[in-house]
Amino acid sequence: GGMKFSLFMIAEYINMITTSTIMATLFFGGWKLPFGLLAGVVWLGPIVLAAKVILLLFLFIWVRASIGRPRYDQLMSFTWKFLLPASLVYMIITALLVVFFK
């Protein structure tokens, strides 16, 4: 019952925090402010990273609350009909670009 559900929810939120931290570090400049502002202030780095993580968490939770969850059969249909063909087309395009621009 309740304990399994609570552990599942805790794990889900830990996953969101981890993903937000990785995204903030890799794609949003990590601990650095935009445009090199206050580059010499070292103690500001963890605060900037935490602010970026909190912003991404807010976006994750907002999107999650706004969009309904698809049923399993809808998700599988979307995967087979759209994601798999799109990934195959992308793979073929990448292979052609590698061959012709090598």
Q: What is the pLDDT of residues 49-73, one digit of tens each?
A: 999 999 999 999 999 999 988 899 9
Same domain for 57 and 24: yes
Same domain for 85 and 53: no
Same domain for 75 and 64: no
DSSP string over 3-23: HHHHHHHHHHHHHHHHHHHHH
Same domain for 43 and 5: yes
Q: How many distinct structural domains can be found in the chain?
A: 2
- The phi and psi torsions of 30 (rounded to 5 degrees) equal 60, -120
Q: Is the pLDDT of residue 1 over 80?
A: no
Question: Which residue type, as a one-letter code, is found at position 27?
Answer: F
Same domain for 10 and 41: yes
pLDDT of residue 76: 96
Same domain for 50 and 12: yes
Same domain for 82 and 59: no
Same domain for 82 and 60: no
Same domain for 61 and 79: no
Eight-class DSSP state of 50: H
Q: What pTM does this model have?
A: 0.68
Backbone dihedral region for residue 34 (phi beyond 0: left; psi -120 to 50: alpha; all else: beta): beta
pLDDT, tens digit, 9 for 90 and up, residues 27-36: 999 999 988 8
- The phi and psi torsions of 11 (rounded to 5 degrees) equal -65, -40
Closest to 56 in 3D by CA, of 21, 30, 9? 21
The parent domain of residue 94 ranges over 71-102
